[in-house]
Structure 1
């Protein structure tokens, strides 16, 4: 159906030369506009001429005009420009390219998620939330420029996202994939060693220069969070960097000419070798997950892990605050030994060795 009821209004959604969505107070008005739009299109006329008013006031800006303006002024120079453009176009498609921004209502905002689910029953909550994030940016931009009343009070819906299992590399998997990569591309094996032990993002590794790596630390000057950070180097990583820094100028990149795609090509060969081709989470980024997980499991305070990983908010780091089954077994053992130790102490016997040695440290930082 091209006409559907949305709360107290009726919405027309038709595709002619492009997609049009408009809302009306009654079904009769919606049907009349649909017929007129089809007639204008058949005559080669503009389907909808509801542009700026005669005085050219900006309050009559359309959603498509707003999207183009936000793309040009806000999203154009960002790393995720393409993603923002895709999300922005999807939002405008749902609301209507020629719909006037000034007519936005809370009901229209709520309907974005509903319409996405109607058009694709398998759309994930995470995808809907990304679209809403772009819509929020567009609305804020419009309010600042007077396209929408600054008194317009609205709420962006938040769809509950399922918690996904965070995959990390086991010690055995690490040994096996590095051993295999050494036989087909030793340079990639060295990269994996660096990634697992520094938590670098791939983009950060490609930008790394000789000057950024000292005998004890590496410094990331440009990161996703926008803040620089320094990461101490373990011995095996220092040894790797020493080989690649040798006879290179200070401003030379450690790994020139490498890209995500090129690395992934060799990684996938290693994944096939480990018979993990059907594990969708076993991708190069799992090295970063491994770095964070191992720190947490070894009792490093969560705030330290946040700084080492370069997370802008602590909630991101908290995703890694999980324990392996072995850690959980030790936790219960600690409780049981404490109870037994308490009974013994009451009888005048010494406290449990487990408690005296403080082996509950695996729970610190969680």
Structure 2
């Protein structure tokens, strides 16, 4: 397909289920590649079946990309259909080039968490981007790890970054671009897996709910004031929050996390088709380990979800972002409520720990907790074992 590419037509190129290309009718050989991930790249076919990436749409301008395409086509014509290497790294497989031209496309199609892993690679290893894959050394990566630790990164965070790079090198070996990984023998930093997880005490949980209610009241008051201002100026008013069961998404989201132990990503991916209000359970389908799990609905959560959306559309997100798209973050709103609750050292993920801790402290077997949390290995669940005081006391009583 060939159309005249312009800044306007670039915005109309929709993401499809697979990668496709749109050629420019103005400049022969110049085209846009639209990946299934939504990424768009300027490309040029400077000779038969010989293509080159020019840059990313949104970073490089259309005019600059078209001029670069014309320049490469002219160079190729003058050199028998090839582009001579005029710079040391030109044409060589640097880390950046490998990611942009090979690994990102593969990750998008084969890895569920591709966006997060690719972001990690591009931000954590920016100092290595212009180095050839085969010339990156063990010490260079080790120096980066040391710097991360000095800047305050936790060992678990450092390990995740290193693991992302190990996966990249493994793929490059499989594609015969390199023969050895410089960090194949790099061990993980020691992480205390048994460190007591942070969870809400009964008092903290009570304060959290109180601040969520206070926030609801404040949002309703602010909306009423805004609508009064609009009415005076004949401006269309906004929805009346006094008629809504919740002022916005935050309170029902927190209740969902506290009563299911879902991960943040699982919550953001949750759609109404996965919620079975009549049968009393929901399905976490887009999970970290790739295995779906069913979570019974606590009565409070069941009532919350019924009130949150009356007559839900199956394909819609339960907690949508703007324009119905997938929500990506609630950190600012949540952290403000935590601060107002005078709760310290507590993250959104710790609501998951609170769910698990409350179950264990009420005598629920660890394997049942493991199933509800979706842990592959019970070793992760054993972090909560110390909370089961009654079970430990009963064991000592058998002596």
TM-score by structure 2 length?
A: 0.57
In structure 2, which of residues 136, 139, 146 is the aligned counterpart of residue 117 of structure 1?
Answer: 146
Could you tell me how far 1:129 is from its partner in structure 2? 1.9
Aligned position for 2:99 = 67
Report if aligned partners of 2:138, 2:182 keep a CA contact under 8 Å in 1.
Answer: no
Q: How many equivalent pairs are there?
A: 274
Query: Between Structure 1 and Structure 2, whose CA radius of gyration is higher?
Result: 1
In structure 1, which of residues 149, 158, 171 is the aligned counterpart of residue 188 of structure 2?
Answer: 158
Aligned position for 1:321 = 384
| Contiguous gaps of at least 5 residues in structure 2 | 1-84, 217-245
Moved more, 171-180 or 230-239: 171-180
2:266 maps to 1:204:
yes
2:261 maps to 1:231:
no
Structure 2 counterpart SS, 1:182: helix
Give the Cα separation in 2 of the matches to 1:89 and 1:129. 15
Could you tell me how far 1:244 is from its partner in structure 2? 2.8
Aligned ranges 1:1-366 → 2 under 5 Å: 49=88, 61-76=93-108, 78-88=112-122, 90-91=124-125, 93-94=127-128, 97-99=130-132, 101=134, 108-117=137-146, 121-122=150-151, 124=153, 125-149=155-179, 154-162=184-192, 164-185=195-216, 186=246, 188-214=250-276, 215=278, 216-257=280-321, 259=327, 261=329, 263-276=330-343, 279-280=344-345, 282-318=346-382, 320-324=383-387, 327-328=388-389, 330=390, 334=394, 338=398
**Residues 128 and 177 of structure 1, relative CA distance in 2, 3 Å threshold:** closer
**Residues 82 and 333 of structure 1, relative CA distance in 2, 3 Å threshold:** closer
Aligned position for 1:38 = none
Deviation string 1:169-204 (CA, Å, 9 cap, x unpaired) is 122222222133123224533332221111123333
| Contiguous gaps of at least 5 residues in structure 1 | 1-45, 53-59, 340-366
Could you tell me how far 1:65 is from its partner in structure 2? 2.6
Give the Cα separation in 2 of the matches to 1:213 and 1:334. 39
TM-score by structure 1 length?
A: 0.62
Aligned position for 1:356 = none
Give the Cα separation in 2 of the matches to 1:62 and 1:184. 50
Could you tell me how far 1:231 is from its partner in structure 2? 0.5
Report if aligned partners of 1:87, 1:130 keep a CA contact under 8 Å in 2.
Answer: no
Report if aligned partners of 1:178, 1:192 keep a CA contact under 8 Å in 2.
Answer: no
Give the Cα separation in 2 of the matches to 1:241 and 1:89. 38
